[in-house]
Amino acid sequence: MERTVYVNGEYVAESEAKISIFDRGFLMADGVYEVTTVLGGKLIDFDGHAVRLERSLNELDMAAACTKEELLAIHRKLVELNNIDEGLVYLQVTRGAADRDFAYPTDATPTLVLFTQAKPGLSGTAAADKGIKVIAADDIRWGRRDIKTVQLLYPSMCKMMAKAAGADDAWLVEDGFVTEGSSNNAYIVKDGTIITRHLGNEILAGITRSAVLRFAKEAQMQVEERSFTIAEAQAADEAFVTSASTFVMPVIEVDGAAVGTGKPGPVAKRLREIYLEEMRAKAV
Ligand code: PMP
Number of other CB atoms surrounding residue 208 within 10 Å: 23
Q: How confident is the model at residue 38 (pLDDT cuts 50, 70, 90)?
A: very high
- Residue to mutate (ligand 1; options 185, 196, 203; most atoms within 8 A of CB): 185
pLDDT tens, residue by residue, 239-276: 999 999 999 999 999 999 999 999 999 999 999 999 99
Instruction: Judge whether 4-122 and 127-282 match in fold.
Output: no
* Cα 70 to Cα 76: distance, rounded to the nearest angstrom: 10
Q: How confident is the model at residue 229 (pLDDT cuts 50, 70, 90)?
A: very high
Strand 222-225 with 257-258, pairing: unpaired
Tell me which residue has its CA closest to atom 12 in ligand 1.
Answer: 206
Is this model's pTM higher than 0.95 or not? yes
Q: Of 77, 119, 133, 148, which is the active-site residue?
A: 148
Please state which architecture CATH assigns to domain 127-282. Alpha-Beta Barrel (3.20)
Tell me which residue has its CA closest to atom 5 in ligand 1.
Answer: 183
Q: What are phi and psi of 3, to 5 degrees?
A: -85, 160
What is the sign of the dihedral through the CA atoms of 148, 152, 157 and 163? Answer: positive
Strand 169-174 with 132-138, pairing: parallel
Q: Output the CA 228–ligand 1 centroid distance in Å.
A: 18
Cβ atoms of 193 and 217 closer than 8 Å: no
Q: Is the CB of 56 under 6 A from ligand 1?
A: no
pLDDT tens, residue by residue, 79-132: 999 999 999 999 999 999 999 999 999 999 999 999 999 999 999 989 999 999
Q: Is the CB of 149 under 6 A from ligand 1?
A: no
Q: Is the CB of 196 under 6 A from ligand 1?
A: no
Q: How confident is the model at residue 1 (pLDDT cuts 50, 70, 90)?
A: confident
Q: Is the CB of 206 under 6 A from ligand 1?
A: yes
Tell me which residue has its CA closest to atom 4 in ligand 1.
Answer: 183
Tell me which residue has its CA closest to atom 1 in ligand 1.
Answer: 184
Q: What is the CATH class of 4-122? A: alpha beta
DSSP string covering the chain, please?
A: -PPEEEETTEEEEGGG----TTBHHHHH--EEEEEEEEETTEESSHHHHHHHHHHHHHHTTPPPSS-HHHHHHHHHHHHHHTT-SSEEEEEEEE--B-SS-SSPPSSPPPEEEEEEEE-TTTTSSHHHHH-EEEEEEE--S-S-TTS-BS--HHHHHHHHHHHHTT-SEEEEEETTEEEEETTBEEEEEETTEEEEPPPSTTS---HHHHHHHHHHHHTT-EEEE----HHHHHTSSEEEEEETTTEEEEEEEETTEE-TTSS--HHHHHHHHHHHHHHHHH--
Select from 272, 265, 270, 273 the least CA-distant residue to 238: 265
Cβ atoms of 184 and 244 closer than 8 Å: no
User: 42 an active-site residue?
Assistant: no
Task: Find the mean pLDDT for residues 156-169.
Answer: 98
Domain extent listing, the chain: 4-122, 127-282
Q: Is the CB of 211 under 6 A from ligand 1?
A: no
Q: Output the CA 129–ligand 1 centroid distance in Å.
A: 21
